[in-house]
Amino acid sequence: MTLRNMLAGSLLAVVAGTSGAMAAELNLYTTREPGLIQPLLDAFTKSTDIKVNTIFLKDGLAERVASEGDKSPADLLMTVDAGNLVDLVEKGLTQSVQSDVLTGSIPASLRDANGNWFALSLRARALYAAKDLDLKEITYEQLADPAWKGKICIRSGQHPYNVALVGSYIAHHGEEAAEKWLTGLKANLARKAGGGDREVARDIMGGLCDIGVANSYYVGLMRSGKGGPEQEQWAKAIKMVLPVFEAGGTQVNITGAAVARHAPNKAEAVKLLEYLVSDEAQKIYAEANFEYPVNAKATVSPLIAEYGVLKPDTVDLAKGVSFRKKASELAEKVGFDN
């Protein structure tokens, strides 16, 4: 072999080694629409040279990971509901992560005490109100006040958003009080519980109801025009109020993630988690999805920031989740959707 060929071979070996070092990757299983998080993943890859392979699973995330067993390629598991995250932990599909970055950025009530899951963004169970209504603050408890009889719109009591709200109510006041509250809230409905959160704004504009319970980020989606011109008009007819529990805060749900139990690329998965709570990523998240950041230093989208500062409920998120079954049973018992 000539010296020239030897040098060429050595160069190829160096390039190959470098290429291999740059080929770090991880596999993200997510129930969140990939398009909503792709800007974040692209920014992460640009910053770290770690490629993210996204596997979207609308349903059956836990079942998929469980069936794959210890051969599962999943590194990070992302869901759009706290209950689903807790389910993953209870089924033994996650592992504990110790990270000063994560614990320093995420309040204790929005992460697992043992490091098995972490919240990445928040959405508040808010109140939409007619724009000309003189209402600046309200508690969830007051929604059952007879003064609101025939004036409230809300989606099904069995929808996960409302099941989570009732679960939090039980965590605050107990089952008996929650049943009484649900009965009072049902008596105040202007129409049968149903539809979606955005339809609450539509029905307020139409004069069917004065107020309604709905998620905060839909306001941003409607106001931004992402829901189309019709929904922009719905948004113009309402304002958003952030209710609180008596001696508590606003009920929130989360998009969150956990490192898979058998993650083949755990280090890379933790790096992505840490990136997702950085100031940069939280700002991207807020602007793309109109959700609230978990990192208090991050910027909130101006389309929802004008409605006030979110003060998440201090009751541990997992505690409310633990009452989901009872919350669903209570909604059925009082005939909330009838």
Q: What is the pLDDT of residues 116-142, one digit of tens each?
A: 999 999 999 999 999 999 999 999 999
Supply 53's token pair: 């392979």
Closest listed residue to residue 260, CA positions, set 102, 77, 114, 117: 77
Same fold across 25-122+252-299 and 123-251+312-333: yes
When pLDDT is averaged across residues 33-60 and rounded to a whole number, the result is: 91
Confidence of residue 286 (pLDDT cuts 50, 70, 90): confident
Tokens 């072999």 correspond to: 1
pLDDT over 70, % of the chain: 93
Which pLDDT score, from 0 to 100, does residue 20 have? Answer: 43
Tell me which DSSP letter residue 300 carries.
P
Of 12-16, 190-194, 283-287, the poorest mean pLDDT is in: 12-16
Q: Hey, which residues does 334 pair with through a beta bridge?
A: none
Is the predicted pLDDT of residue 76 greater than 70, yes or no? Answer: yes
Closest listed residue to residue 285, CA positions, set 266, 267, 304: 304
Which pLDDT score, from 0 to 100, does residue 293 have? Answer: 92
Tokens 């929802």 correspond to: 304
Which pLDDT score, from 0 to 100, does residue 19 have? Answer: 40
Rounded distance between C-alpha atoms, residue 261 and residue 22, angstroms: 25
Helix%, strand%, coil% for the chain, nearest 5: 50, 15, 35
Which pLDDT score, from 0 to 100, does residue 288 have? Answer: 82
When pLDDT is averaged across residues 174-189 and rounded to a whole number, the result is: 98
Is the predicted pLDDT of residue 312 greater than 50, yes or no? Answer: yes
- Residue 277 has φ and ψ, to the nearest 5°, of -105, 10
Tell me which DSSP letter residue 92 carries.
T
287-303 per-position pLDDT tens digit: 888 999 998 888 899 99
Most confident of 4-8, 30-34, 326-330: 326-330
Average pLDDT, the chain: 91
Confidence of residue 7 (pLDDT cuts 50, 70, 90): very low
Confidence of residue 16 (pLDDT cuts 50, 70, 90): very low
What are the distances in angstroms from CA 8 to CA 2, 23, 39, 282? Answer: 10, 22, 39, 46
Is the predicted pLDDT of residue 5 greater than 90, yes or no? Answer: no
Rounded distance between C-alpha atoms, residue 240 and residue 185, angstroms: 19
Is 290 in contact with 221 (CB distance < 8 Å)?
yes
Q: Tell me the residue ranges of DSSP E strands in the chain.
A: 25-30, 51-56, 76-79, 118-130, 152-153, 211-215, 238-241, 252-259, 292-293
Domain residue spans of the chain: 25-122+252-299, 123-251+312-333
The residue ranking higher by pLDDT, 59 or 250, is: 250
Query: What CATH number labels 123-251+312-333?
Result: 3.40.190.10
Which pLDDT score, from 0 to 100, does residue 235 have? Answer: 97
Confidence of residue 64 (pLDDT cuts 50, 70, 90): very high
Query: What CATH number labels 25-122+252-299?
Result: 3.40.190.10
Confidence of residue 15 (pLDDT cuts 50, 70, 90): very low
When pLDDT is averaged across residues 78-86 and rounded to a whole number, the result is: 91
192-237 per-position pLDDT tens digit: 999 999 999 999 999 999 999 999 999 999 999 988 999 999 999 9
